[in-house]
Chain A
Amino acid sequence: MLDSSLTQLGAALRAKKISSVELTQLYLDRIAALNPSLNAYITTNAETSLTQARAADALLSGGKAQALTGIPIAQKDIFCAKGWRTTCGSKMLENFIAPYDAHVIEQFNNSGAVNLGKTNMDEFAMGSSNETSHFGAVKNPWDRNAVPGGSSGGAACAVAARLCAAATGTDTGGSIRQPAALCGISGIKPTYGTVSRYGMIAFASSLDQAGPMARSAEDLALLLNVMTGFDERDSTSLQRDKEDYSRDLSKPLTGLRIGLPKEFFAEGLTQDVACCVHAAIAEYQKLGASIVNISLPNSRLAVPVYYVLAPAEASSNLSRYDGVRFGYRAPEYSNLTEMYEKSRAQGFGAEVKRRIMIGTYVLSHGYYDAYYLQAQKIRRLIAQDFTDAFKQCDVIMGPTSPSTAFNLGEKGDDPVQMYLSDIYTIAVNLAGLPGMSIPAGFCSNGRPVGLQIIGDYFSEARMLNFAHQYQLATDHHDRAPQNIGL
């Protein structure tokens, strides 16, 4: 049951081979046994989850089931879910009980899915290793000495360790794709604007995008069908017709072109990762796709541009945490300014404060043109590179991350080294394009390698087609970490 696809689970539920209550309890038992060591979840609430499962069983009995009805899904702790503690990985929100549902949560609730719990993450989604969480680091289920990646590290760990059927994540600079790669699972960040940001705690609003994380491309398509859709409460939500993301899964790849950007295979890429990615490309050629060599000349500027724009937007978004209406308030202060300054100093962790400082600096008087405006201009150059590239190819492929999972604590003291671990993912967010990562094998140290697939705007169905055809021909995505304790 734990290795079943969402389609198989849905069929088993409809055929009454298992009830949603039984399936939910199975996962809750696994979480109880394994979470103390893996730390993938910040909050579970068995009673609430089982109540949802009982309601799903009623829908199933009444013949009113949809594709995900009764299936337990782990929600990243960045999504407000009414009545659930929603911390965003921060002490600032340690005791915050969300008074409303995010659009993503509403969509899952309307589909009859079960909320299994809230997954661990880097604080306010700022991090690439899950080590900035106030609730402690998540362990990589393939190797407990390794990080799971971040910021959706808890989600990636939960999917890989079979602590949920599937999960949600968010991706501002690679936070779905990088942990998916490091934990050997599949994840997709759709085109900016396709999933509503309503109720998703804001980091950098022009880059933040939610997406699903699961064990296969086929599962991702079903999850995207539920998560996407126009929502007037998000001013950047796109008004588009509902699509079926499963529609192209079984199409052949014959005659399709894969662009390989030379910048993604240059200095900095580790040998083992390069080998796995090249082997995956060779498999795609066997499946009938052809290779086109392309260039994304401005992609080297993506990291510097991102570390101006994302902190600038974050410093503005996080100014709401003032200790007045919700969130942490310092126990002692002598006046209002001191209350703000102490509440924020004590409530935020080091990385969040660092980014607030960067953002405040680049937006401050006299520096706006040199930093923020210059970064926005280069952002257009980066997006234009992709537009030019897609004239020659149907998708772009390359590594998701320059290395496999690094060790816990390895990059702790060096923020710049940590930032560079997102070198291949960030440009996609700046351009607003869809990007995904799928398992492409394992390194000699046993840690998983991810293949990144980047598509043109709104080409998620085509990307999932590419991913699914590869997953029909290979079994990397079916491998599960062994010796995890159950």
Chain B
Amino acid sequence: MSLTHADVQKVARLARLAMNEAEIAAASAQLSGIFDLIAEMQAVDTKSIAPMSHAQDLSQRLREDVVTETNQRENFQKIAPQVEAGLYLVPQVIE
């Protein structure tokens, strides 16, 4: 299977990865090779098979709806790229 330039461009946009023209061209070739490998599984008949997401088929545990986390804002903001007055700074999104 081959991925077109437009396919790769669309996926890069969805994945929020900036790519230049040369990177898109290289990615199309490499991803096409990987999808050739993946294509092997298309021929398998799985009509009556239930999908398996986890090995143990567990059900989700529930807990009491109480606060268990402590406030660690200062601790966590020490590792942030840009903060001011206890807030995370990003470029303006609303005019």
Give me the interface of A with B, judged by CB distance under 8 Å: 95-97, 99, 191-193, 206, 232, 235-236, 238, 298, 300-301, 303-305, 307-308, 315, 319, 322-329, 333-342, 344-345, 348, 353-354, 356-358, 360-361, 364, 370-371, 373-381, 383, 415-416, 419, 431-433, 457
Contacts and interface: CB of A to CB of B under 8 A. Distances in A.
B56 interface: yes
A416 B41 contact: no
A378 B15 contact: no
A193 to B, nearest CB: 6
Nearest to B40: A304
A380 B56 CA distance: 11
B71 interface: no
A235 B42 CA distance: 32
25 contacts: A95-B79, A99-B72, A99-B78, A193-B58, A236-B54, A301-B41, A304-B39, A304-B40, A324-B80, A336-B93, A341-B17, A344-B16, A354-B30, A354-B34, A357-B15, A358-B35, A375-B41, A377-B52, A380-B49, A380-B50, A380-B52, A381-B44, A416-B34, A416-B37, A419-B37
Given A307-B38, A344-B16, A377-B51, A324 B79 contact: no
Contacts of B11: 357, 360-361, 364
A379 B52 contact: yes
Nearest to B54: A206
B91 A380 contact: no
A416 to B, nearest CB: 5
Main secondary structure of the interface of A (DSSP, over half): helix
Instruction: Name the residue in B8, B46, B55 with the highest tally of chain A Cβ atoms < 10 Å from its Cβ.
Output: B55
Interface string B59-76: 011010000000010011
B53 A206 contact: yes
A243 B89 CA distance: 48
List the 4 closest pairs (A to B, CB-CB), nearest first: A432-B55, A376-B51, A329-B81, A377-B46
Question: Interface size bucket, B side?
Answer: 35 or more
Given A336-B93, A348-B17, 12 more contacts: A97-B78, A193-B56, A206-B53, A303-B37, A305-B41, A307-B34, A344-B18, A345-B17, A356-B17, A374-B42, A376-B52, A377-B49
Nearest to B51: A376
Given A344-B18, A357-B11, A364-B11, A236 B34 contact: no
A229 to B, nearest CB: 16
A370 B41 CA distance: 10
B42 A370 contact: yes
Contact of B8 (A303, A338, A357, A380): A357
A319 B31 CA distance: 20
B90 A324 contact: yes
Contacts of A380: 49-52
A336 B61 contact: no
A377 B79 contact: no
B92 to A, nearest CB: 8
A358 B14 CA distance: 11
A307 B52 contact: no
A319 to B, nearest CB: 8
Contact of A304 (B38, B58, B63, B72): B38
B31 A354 contact: yes
B61 A324 contact: no
Contacts of B12: 357
A378 B3 CA distance: 24
B25 interface: no
A372 to B, nearest CB: 9
A419 B40 CA distance: 14
Given A99-B76, A322-B16, A360-B14, A374 B41 contact: yes
Contact of B79 (A326, A356, A383): A326
B91 A235 contact: no
B51 A336 contact: no
B33 A416 contact: yes
A207 to B, nearest CB: 9
Nearest to A352: B17
Contacts of B34: 307, 354, 358, 415-416, 419
